[in-house]
Amino acid sequence: MTSKKILLVVCDGLSDRPVKEFDRKTPLQVAKKPAMDAIARHGISGVMDVIGPGIVPGSDTAHLALFGYDPYKTYTGRGPIEAAGAGLIMERGDVAFRCNFATVDGSFNVTDRRAGRIKFGTDELASAVSGMAIGDVTAILKEGTEHRAVLVLRGPGLDHRVTDVDPHREGPLLESRPLVPEAKKTAEVLNEFVRRARDVLDQHPVNRNRLRDGLLPANAILPRGGGSTKGLERICERYRMRCGAVVGVTLVKGMCRLVGMDVPEVQGATGGLDTDYRAKAEAALNLLKTHDFVFINVKAGDVASHDGDFRTKVRVVENIDMMMGMILKEVHEDVVVALTCDHSTPVSLKEHSADPVPIAISGGGSRVDGVKEFDEISSAAGALGRIRGMELMPILMGMADRAEKFGA
């Protein structure tokens, strides 16, 4: 028995609802998509509640579930995901926070939560406070895009269950409080970091120059959304596969790094409508040479949906189909290819929704049902039935002959 490779393609938010103005069709029903339909025609289809029926998935929790992790047990705030997205490798026991660079006055009142949407210099500011030792804890700060940053606390006895320092609006900066007794030390360290960072940042040349130029100083760090990676077993160990990902958008890139996938930088893969589909296809085909499991995320459908733009979304479907066509042409029929979405984002809603997503799987040991098209309704008639996101990885492992027998 030779175990097969797996390619999982997740079209972010591509699943939709019927749109009245377009003959009550969905973008997937309207678009021409021969490659996507070929997967349905040569394989098995179904629909999937990515987290559970009636649960509206976030992109982060959805991807946790799609990778086989229970988001209710492993999802502990955005901090670790953002940290991974920013390239910070978290160690077991670390606690991470999303942060804003902000402007505070002399009494620690937040006067601008985004420091005038600062664009430049946050790398220097972050460096000035990163590495700070607070007792036996080290604070690591890494700038993100614009006013965003990530804080990782590293040391013994930390716990992420603390309240935010970020007041989430203008007004007095908050003291972090422990939500459980075990998190007392973390709250104290966090508050001390915020106080000391204020002193360092206020005097920093970047901020003195900003003041001189009439800009708001980025003289405070506002941590929020603390989380840990406790319980997130690495995906390569869990499934005994070498796993790689082709992803543009930072949040999902973070998810992939967090579970231990290789995530090469792909020139032109932007996570936007302008992403380079050919580059993504080539990167995926390259990864398939060296890796057992390759994951692709295409964000553009979600972007079009958030804009409420049906026609653009149809074009996105056709672009993804072109990418899938390039891939299918090169991929051996032994490779298990799964095509699905992380959640629905109806253009009529401009937000994620709880509607289940279509899924089609071909190649490997796949059965073949009568479904001939990949869309929200056609797929639902398939032999795969209605599955859960967390069941997807085990199902793919089974079809790739990588599952272990339980019993005799």
User: Given the rule CB under 8 A, which residues bind a second copy?
Assistant: 1, 17-18, 24, 26, 47, 51-62, 71, 75, 78, 81, 251, 346, 348-355, 365-370, 376-377, 380-387, 391, 393-399, 401, 403-408
Q: Which is nearer to a second copy, 112 or 164 (CB)?
A: 164
3-state per-residue secondary structure call for 299-336: CHHHHHHHCCCHHHHHHHHHHHHHHHHHHHHHCCCCCE
Can you read off the two tokens belonging to residue 176?
Answer: 């972090």
Extract the runs of DSSP E, i.e. beta strands, from 195-335.
220-228, 243-246, 293-298
Q: At what angle do helices 184-202 and 122-129 cross, to 10 degrees?
A: 120
Q: Which is nearer to a second copy, 38 or 173 (CB)?
A: 38
Q: Which is nearer to a second copy, 133 or 408 (CB)?
A: 408
CB of 182 vs a second copy, minimal distance in Å: 24
CB of 75 vs a second copy, minimal distance in Å: 6
CB of 93 vs a second copy, minimal distance in Å: 23
CB of 248 vs a second copy, minimal distance in Å: 16
d(CA 193, CA 222): 10
In angstroms and rounded to an integer, the radius of gyration of the C-alpha atoms of the chain is 23
Cα distance from N-terminal residue to C-terminal residue, the chain: 17
φ/ψ of residue 359, rounded to 5 = -145, 140
Q: Which is nearer to a second copy, 45 or 275 (CB)?
A: 45
CB of 196 vs a second copy, minimal distance in Å: 30
d(CA 244, CA 287): 7
CB of 184 vs a second copy, minimal distance in Å: 28
Q: Which is nearer to a second copy, 9 or 387 (CB)?
A: 387
Q: Which is nearer to a second copy, 60 or 292 (CB)?
A: 60
